Amino acid sequence: MCGIFAYLNYLVEKDRRYIINTLLTGLSRLEYRGYDSLAVNGDKENEFLIFREVGKVAALRAKIESQSTLDMNKKFLSHTSMAHTRWATHGQPCEKNSHPHRSDPNNEFIVVHNGIITNYKELRTILEKNGYLFESDTDTECIAKLAKYIWDNHAKGSKPTFTTLVKAVCKELEGAFAIIVKSTHFPDEVIATRRGSPLLIGVKTQKKLKVDFVDVEFGGAEAPAAVAQPKGNSLLAPINPSHPPMQRSQSRAFLSDDGMPQPIEYFLASDPSAIVEHTKRVLYLEDGDIAHIDEGELHIHRLRRDDNMSTMRQIQTLEMELAEIMKGSFDHFMQKEIYEQPESVVNTMRGRVNFDTRTVTLGGLSTYLATIRRCRRIVFVACGTSYHSCIATRAIFEELTEIPISVELASDFLDRKTPIFRDDVCVFVSQSGETADTILALRYCLERGALCVGITNTVGSSISRETHCGVHINAGPEIGVASTKAYTSQFIALVMMALQLSEDRISKTERRNAIIDDLCRLPQVIKETLALDNELKQLSRESLVKQASLLIMGRGYQNATCLEGALKIKELSYMHSEGILAGELKHGPLALIDENMPVILIMTKDSLYPKVQSALQQVTARKGHPIIICNTNDSNIPDKYRTIRVPQLVDCLQGLITVIPLQLLSYHIAVARGVNVDFPRNLAKSVTVE
Ligand code: F6R
């Protein structure tokens, strides 16, 4: 999705080169979210410089560097600036649709936005009728125009404050958004607010902060300061002239000992990866928070008090390291992330699995274990690869816990208005923790009183904050759009959850021990599998890169691997690929098989081996030549078949290993086809819109 980045320095002198560089680096960290980008930078009083470029951040950098008239050494003691990388939802990727969008040629209000304004057509119609001319095809532009409309309709002398104005704007917006607003009427101030899209604020000071939180300030219950019956239409609520001014408490955190504001820098972004190189101290905005930064102070406002929400926002410390979001010696983030799996799986288990005592302790679930064990069913909800990790672990979950499990795609779950009850446990699996469909499904289940558990990779994400309890998979930042290490870590997190839930079942002890013993072997076994890389590269070039289609078949525990492998192939190489449950072959897909149809068959040694052998015969009887993913110790496979041999693990963990050759194959096919592996077309890492 779109990425937002803003930088503010207050009493910390920086030259223009530094500011622009900070914006561009911030954008490049967010580049995996979008396609076209721009930077904004204030210059003289009440003047904004806006740079736009379609495509990569490097092109924007080159464009700015070519502006010979720009004094890059000009110093700013205090300054506000912002930038945006766009994933087009409304309007083509082109300069005119690039953010920030402005209210008018004088840039009275400029806005960068991540999300979708669902009522933008209605707003645009009303604003156009009132003489506001639109310049882009985006939904975002109506935010800037609306701000100006409200401003213009206030009589001189009774103009609203910046916060009050943005509150009035937000009241009219429907949909999901994170926005940052700047205005010539409030020169050195910035407002940032979110509803449904992520936004966090990094804070950098030389001196330690006095306290680690910011108090939330509450306005009156009524609409703060819309216009006095704006020129005869009902777009905005009538003004409440007696509305009391906002209570403005001091944000103690940012004051120095003498009570004066201290030099400070703020970094606002949709993702911590854009902030971590500047500061690790961050504050996550909650839905409905309106952050106002003025004269070095950060104030967080809300329209009204919400009993379920804390009245403080903690300033937290990011655990992520800069090196984790750099490619290092790898060609692509995806490649790096595939290769990180021997370590990322250890990080998922660290401090949780005791291999000596063969026990599992998930601290985040400890107080809820009894409730989960008593529930009448567990519903897994997720999208894409995260959904596949649920499919992969469903059988072992059912076997160990003996609780009925259903696995739901979040969008379909919502479309069906699936019945959910108080004694259900709903588990939301999401790498980003920000996927719109999964969040909506979570809120749906919260409303119905179910216990909601989050399995996410992103500390501070919406899903990790809004669920009752959960497990962070600790795979480290995943930047490549195609999910790889998050899949294996989600898989392990779900297996660990099943292991802990079944710890009181004596009858399962032997099975549990076998699983825990193989979890211990995982890092080594993954390394052995990664050693197949060259062989897989060769295979992809010789046999697969020119194909139009690829079928991946298996059954039982390997069904999820087939689905996940096919998803990786199609999203990265744009080749049609389908994961097929081998048991379904004769119910239709067999018609596709002939000597020209490429097939990969997963035939590892588990209880279903004989049945997969029969699928192999059905395929070869139709002149198919499948490539077989099998175990290293399997001597039953005739030499005529091309094989990819992987180490054997206990059946329910084998999918952690069989998926790796498919990740690597999809990577190599994509590279050979000249596709940008880290930014597949039309896709974004974090799908924050429905
Ligand atoms: C595929 C992929 C997507 C995501 C899906 C859910 O490689 O990455 O299918 O798995 O968009 O995203 P999260 O896990 O962030 O909820």
Q: What is the CATH number of the domain that holds 449?
A: 3.40.50.10490
Please give the share of the chain, as a percent, with pLDDT higher than 90: 64
Select from 346, 387, 676 the least CA-distant residue to 525.
Answer: 346
| Closest ligand 1 atom to Cα of 435 | 16
Is 92 a member of any domain? Answer: yes
Quote the pLDDT of residue 337. 95
Q: How far is the CA of 684 from the centre of ligand 1 (A)?
A: 9
Is 598 a member of any domain? Answer: yes
pLDDT band at 375 (very low <50, low <70, confident <90, very high): very high
The enclosing domain of 173 has a CATH number of: 3.60.20.10
- The answer to which of 87-96, 407-416, 519-528, 595-604 has the lowest mean pLDDT is 87-96
536 and 513 within one domain:
no
- Predicted confidence (pLDDT) per residue in 340-351, tens digit: 999 999 999 999
670 and 580 within one domain:
yes
430 and 509 within one domain:
yes
Is 334 a member of any domain? Answer: no
570 and 510 within one domain:
no
List active site positions: 2
Range 195-212 average pLDDT? 85
| Closest ligand 1 atom to Cα of 388 | 10
Quote the pLDDT of residue 137. 87
Q: Is the pLDDT of residue 684 over 80?
A: no
Is 485 a member of any domain? Answer: yes
Domains: count for the chain:
3
Q: How far is the CA of 593 from the centre of ligand 1 (A)?
A: 30
- The answer to which of 14-18, 157-161, 222-226, 294-298 has the lowest mean pLDDT is 222-226
Q: Which protein residue's CA is at the shortest distance from atom 5 of ligand 1?
A: 384
Range 135-160 average pLDDT? 92
The answer to whether the CB of 599 falls within 8 A of the CB of 522 is no
Ligand 1 mutation pick, 687, 688, 689, 690, max ligand atoms within 8 A of CB: 687
652 and 522 within one domain:
no
Q: Is the pLDDT of residue 228 over 70?
A: no
Domain end residue (candidates: 503, 530, 557): 530
477 and 578 within one domain:
no
Question: Radius of gyration over alpha carbons of the chain, in Å?
Answer: 27
Is 372 a member of any domain? Answer: yes
Domain end residue (candidates: 530, 546, 570): 530
Range of the domain at 517: 345-530
267 and 184 within one domain:
yes
Is 328 a member of any domain? Answer: no
| Pairing assessment for the beta strands 549-554 and 576-581 based on DSSP bridges | parallel
541 and 520 within one domain:
no
The answer to whether the CB of 405 falls within 8 A of the CB of 378 is yes
Quote the pLDDT of residue 239. 40
Select from 509, 539, 434 the least CA-distant residue to 195.
Answer: 434
3-state secondary structure 521-584: HHHHHHHHHHCCHHHHHHHHHHHHCCCCEEEEEECHHHHHHHHHHHHHHHHHHCCEEEEEEHHH
- Predicted confidence (pLDDT) per residue in 259-298, tens digit: 777 899 999 998 888 999 999 999 999 989 999 999 889 9
CB of 427 shorter than 6 A to ligand 1: no
Q: Which protein residue's CA is at the shortest distance from atom 10 of ligand 1?
A: 385
Contact partners, residue 418, CB within 8 Å, separation at least 6: 379, 408
- Predicted confidence (pLDDT) per residue in 596-620, tens digit: 999 999 999 999 999 999 999 999 9
CB of 85 shorter than 6 A to ligand 1: no
Q: Which of the pair, 329 or 253, is modelled with greater confidence?
A: 329
CB of 461 shorter than 6 A to ligand 1: no
CB of 438 shorter than 6 A to ligand 1: yes
CB of 663 shorter than 6 A to ligand 1: no
255 and 168 within one domain:
yes
604 and 674 within one domain:
yes
Range 624-634 average pLDDT? 95
Compute how many other C-beta atoms are within 10 angstroms of the C-beta atom of residue 56: 18
pLDDT band at 35 (very low <50, low <70, confident <90, very high): low
317 and 208 within one domain:
yes
Q: Is the pLDDT of residue 196 over 50?
A: yes
296 and 169 within one domain:
yes
- The answer to which of 20-34, 106-120, 146-160, 348-362 has the lowest mean pLDDT is 20-34
φ/ψ (deg, to 5) at 180 = -125, 130
Quote the pLDDT of residue 68. 73
Is 538 a member of any domain? Answer: yes
Whole-model pTM: value is 0.77
Is 136 a member of any domain? Answer: yes
Domain end residue (candidates: 479, 514, 530): 530
pLDDT band at 94 (very low <50, low <70, confident <90, very high): confident
Q: How far is the CA of 486 from the centre of ligand 1 (A)?
A: 9
